[in-house]
Amino acid sequence: THALERSAAIVYGHQCIRRLVRFLKEMMPGFENCYLVQVASMLGVRESWQIVGKLLMHEEDYPRKARYEDAVARGDWYIDVHSANKSLVHQISYQPGDYYEIPYRAMVTNEVENLVVAGRCISTTFLMQASVRIIPTCIDMGEAAGMATVLANQMNMALNALDGKDIAEKLGEYC
């Protein structure tokens, strides 16, 4: 994006935030003394670099509540994007106990042997990443990545050579 357009968008965003704070102070009981502590330094950053994993998770995984034999984490957050296309966005929501699984293969790549990632940088499409990036899901992936590192060290194997089933089994011993 052109630098001037980005700067204008940031200025506009700050103006909107100031209006919102003023509205809260004037119109919402209990917010009379509220104040803004911090504003993000960048505008709209929800997406970042992602690996090209051994498996790419797709938005179709969400409605079908995907299951994988090498699953190491679970997710259940809705597809959280601000979009004009309402295809899957906010259209489908899970009932308590519903979830999709995150396979270990989406956390490792063929290109780098000893790299495992967790969070919004795993191998997903844009829409699926909008569900995966939620903090509790990222914590689960981080725990799986840590366990993978331990197992790879113990077994003298590359991270991308591990089987997610072994990681899930080991995680189950501690839960």
Nearest-CA neighbor of 118 among 159, 79, 67? 159
Element at 51 (helix H, strand E): none
Residues 112 and 170 occupy one common structural domain: yes
**Cβ burial 63-101 (10 Å sphere, 16+ → b, else e):** eeebebebbbbbbbbbbebeeeeeebbeeeebeeeebbb
Q: In this structure, is residue 54 part of a structural domain?
A: no
- Of 4-8, 91-95, 152-156, 170-174, highest mean pLDDT: 152-156
Residues 23 and 96 occupy one common structural domain: no
One-letter amino acid at 39 equals V
Phi, psi of 72 (to 5 degrees): -125, -5
Residues 112 and 73 occupy one common structural domain: yes
Q: In this structure, is residue 114 part of a structural domain?
A: yes
Q: Distance of CA 54 to CAs 111, 120, 124, 153, 162, Å?
A: 9, 16, 11, 21, 12
pLDDT score for 150:
96
For 84-107, how does the pLDDT look when each residue is reduced to its tens digit (9 = 90+)? 555 555 567 889 999 999 999 999
Q: In this structure, is residue 52 part of a structural domain?
A: no
Residues 154 and 127 occupy one common structural domain: yes
Residues 77 and 163 occupy one common structural domain: yes
For 139-160, how does the pLDDT look when each residue is reduced to its tens digit (9 = 90+)? 999 999 999 999 999 999 999 9
Residues 15 and 77 occupy one common structural domain: no
Looking at the whole model, is its pTM more than 0.85?
Answer: no
The domain of 39 spans 1-45
